[in-house]
Structures are given as C-alpha cells and as structure tokens.
C-alpha cells in the first residue's frame, strides 16, 4: 500500500511592528499621551511609570526619530485604529484594470466602430486598454499593414489618448496598451 505524505505549509510569522513597554531599549523618548498632547522628552523609566499609573502601554511609534517617539495608549485599541485606517486607505485606492480589445487586419467598419465605442467606455471608467491583433497564415507577411491598422485604431479613439506600451510583436501577435490622459 502506498502512503502519500503531505507537507504542511509553514505559516509566515510576521515580526511585531511596534515595540512595547520593556522591549523599548533607548534611555529617552519623546512621549505623546493618549489624547494626542505632547508630553515632551522623558526618560523611559518615567514613561513606563506613567503608563502603569494609567493602566496603558508605551508604544514606540517612530523608532528612527531622535529621540524615538512613543505613545501612551492601549495596544489593542491602537492596533484596531491602525487597521481601520489601512482599510480606509485601501478603499480610497483606485483600481485600474487593463481591458482587452482584439482587432483583425481586415476588420469591417461596423465591427471597428463597436470596438471603438467599447474602448471609449473603458476609458470613461478609468481603465487602460490593450489593443491586440493576431496575424494568421499569409497575414504574417504584412507586418507594416498590421502596425498601420493599430495606429489608425488608436487615432480613431480621439484626443488625449496616450500610448503606455508601444506596439510589441511576439510571433504573429501585435499588442499595445493605451490610456486616456486626464
């Protein structure tokens, strides 16, 4: 009987982002209390005493500053607020997709117009468009016609169109990426 063994994937252990309380190693710190008021430069022992008196933690926020900036706060609530802030930043980011548009060397006028309208719609949504042309059979000998067809298509897209990636050729596949300049 054959036995198969499956290896467990090792979980990546992320080192702690902030040093807390007794793990802070510098003698003096710039302290900020839980309301955001600047207490000033104090010794680490005094900062730890203030934190214990209030039932809070000393969190090293900016370790590269001279002296390092520390904050009096509850570590759990501090991490919670930071996670919320990251989520807000992530929600504000604009996700740009690259939409594909395939044309052929002998495309009809109506088909070309449909693809032009689709590309313009993608631009209004804020996306980039990859224009692709695949040459088949005897078409591969007409590289100059393919380049001209793609540049003509880009020209028909209208004003403010920028070419992000120039026309590249891989075998019989031509592709370029364009976007609308705002």
| pLDDT confidence of residue 1 | 60
Confidence of residue 24 (pLDDT cuts 50, 70, 90): confident
Residue 121's alpha-carbon distances to 11, 67, 103, in angstroms, are 43, 53, 17
- Supply the mean pLDDT for the chain: 88
Q: Taking a C-beta distance cutoff of 8 angstroms, is the pair 160, 181 a contact?
A: yes
Q: Taking a C-beta distance cutoff of 8 angstroms, is the pair 162, 142 a contact?
A: no
| pLDDT confidence of residue 154 | 93
**Cα distance between residue 21 and residue 73, in whole Å:** 11
Residue 16 has pLDDT above 70, yes or no: no
Fold classification of 21-86 (topology level): Ubiquitin-like (UB roll) (3.10.20)
90: left (phi over 0), alpha (psi -120 to 50) or beta: alpha
The angle subtended at Cα 120 by Cα 115 and Cα 157, nearest 5°, is 80
Delimit the CATH 3.10.20.80 region(s) of the chain.
Answer: 21-86
What is the mean predicted confidence (pLDDT) over 1-26?
76
Delimit the CATH 3.30.110.10 region(s) of the chain.
Answer: 98-180
Q: Which CATH architecture has domain 98-180?
A: 2-Layer Sandwich (3.30)
Q: In this predicted model, what pLDDT tens digit does every residue of 161-177 receive, in sequence order?
A: 999 999 999 988 999 99
Q: In this predicted model, what pLDDT tens digit does every residue of 74-127 receive, in sequence order?
A: 998 989 998 999 999 888 877 778 999 999 998 999 999 999 999 999 999 889
Confidence of residue 182 (pLDDT cuts 50, 70, 90): confident
Q: Taking a C-beta distance cutoff of 8 angstroms, is the pair 97, 127 a contact?
A: yes
Q: Taking a C-beta distance cutoff of 8 angstroms, is the pair 58, 70 a contact?
A: yes
């Amino acid at each position: 009987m054959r036995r198969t063994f499956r290896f467990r994937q090792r979980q990546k252990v992320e080192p702690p982002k902030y040093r807390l309380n007794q793990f802070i190693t510098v003698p003096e710190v710039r302290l900020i209390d839980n309301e955001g008021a600047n207490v000033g430069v104090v010794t680490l022992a005094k900062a730890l005493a203030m934190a214990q008196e209030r039932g809070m933690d000393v969190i090293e926020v900016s370790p590269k500053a001279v002296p390092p900036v520390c904050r009096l706060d509850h570590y759990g609530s501090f991490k919670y607020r930071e996670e919320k802030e990251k989520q807000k930043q992530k929600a504000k980011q604009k996700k740009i997709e690259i939409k594909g548009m395939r044309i052929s060397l002998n495309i009809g006028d109506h088909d070309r117009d449909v693809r032009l309208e689709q590309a313009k719609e993608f631009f209004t949504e804020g996306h980039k468009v990859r224009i692709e042309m695949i040459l088949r059979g005897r078409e591969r000998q007409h590289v100059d016609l393919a380049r001209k067809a793609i540049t003509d298509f880009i020209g028909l897209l209208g004003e403010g169109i920028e070419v992000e990636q120039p026309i590249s050729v891989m075998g019989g596949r031509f592709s370029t990426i364009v976007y609308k300049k705002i």
